[in-house]
Amino acid sequence: MAEQRIRVVLVDDHPVVRAGVRALVDAQDDLDVVGEAADSTQAVAVVGETRPDVVLMDLSLGDGPGGAETTRLVRELPSPPHVLVLTTYDTEADVLEAVDAGAAGYLLKDAPPDELFRAIRGTARGETVLAPSVATRLLQRAASPTPKVSPREVEILRLLAKGLGNKEMARELLVSEATVKSHLSHIYTKLGVDTRAGAVATAIERRILRP
């Protein structure tokens, strides 16, 4: 059956997870783990050397560039491999970021091994593979596009989460209180809330703020 083994590289900062995926994937006779990387730099190097068909990419890589950025770097290599994101979270922001970084699929770590194998094979063939829960979220977001929060607004959100009042934010950002209120109004509109507490909760949920 295995005309040609599918060559896989793992990118994950957790040794345990790498060992797990390797153990599972190597047990399949049409799949080969040809390399591992724990961070972004290693990932690019290993992919360049081993020229795999598929890269399994974790999104949180500890310090340094994250999985999304690493995906972008890998996809910019000549004749790049397909990237299958394999991660714990299914927050919409993560998915979107990964997808527009060039990821071909998105799986959650709690997926049963079978699903993982099918996903790898599909990705190798150039198919797009999404975990059901992720697909659902994507569709929801597609229906109501998330307006982008501007950098300045993120700044406001950060201070908001620290519990600052408008006056204090104004001082902190060297602008007038009126400006702060203006930003806040825009934030409310974009996040679909109408209170500061709701804005903070939604911002964290959407991963605009890191908890």
Partner DNA sequence: ACCCCGGATAGCCGATCGGATGATGCCGGA
Partner DNA sequence: TCCGGCATCATCCGATCGGCTATCCGGGGT
Contacts for 206 with CB less than 8 Å, ≥ 6 apart: 91, 92, 93, 146, 191
Site string for a copy of itself, 171-210 (x = CB under 8 A): ----------------------xxxxxxxxx--xx---x-
CB of 113 to a copy of itself, least distance (A): 5
d(Cα 49, Cα 39) in Å, to the nearest integer?
Answer: 15
Residue 155 lies near a copy of itself (rule: CB under 8 A): no
Residue 29 lies near a copy of itself (rule: CB under 8 A): no
CB of 150 to DNA, least distance (A): 3
Considering only 48, 64, 147, 165, the residue that binds a copy of itself (CB under 8 A) is: 165
Residue whose token pair is 């507490």: 197
Considering only 19, 45, 77, 178, the residue that binds a copy of itself (CB under 8 A) is: 19
H or E element, residue 92: helix 92-100
Q: With contact defined as beta carbons under 8 Å apart, do 159 and 184 qualify?
A: no
Residue whose token pair is 């300045």: 152
CA 181 to chain CA centroid, Å, is 31
d(Cα 210, Cα 207) in Å, to the nearest integer?
Answer: 6
CB of 138 to a copy of itself, least distance (A): 19
- One-character DSSP codes across 107-134: EETTS-HHHHHHHHHHHHTT--EE-HHH
Measuring CA to CA, which residue among 49, 38, 39, 40 is closest to residue 16? 38
Binding site for DNA (CB under 7 A): 148, 150-153, 165-167, 173, 175-176, 178-179, 181-186, 188, 194-196
Binding site partner of 200, from DNA, a copy of itself, none, Cβ cut-off 5-8 A by kind: a copy of itself
Of residues 137 and 183, the one with the C-beta less far from DNA: 183
Of residues 16 and 197, the one with the C-beta less far from DNA: 197
Residues in touch with a copy of itself (CB under 8 A) = 13-24, 62, 86, 88, 109-113, 116, 160-165, 193-201, 204-205, 209, 211
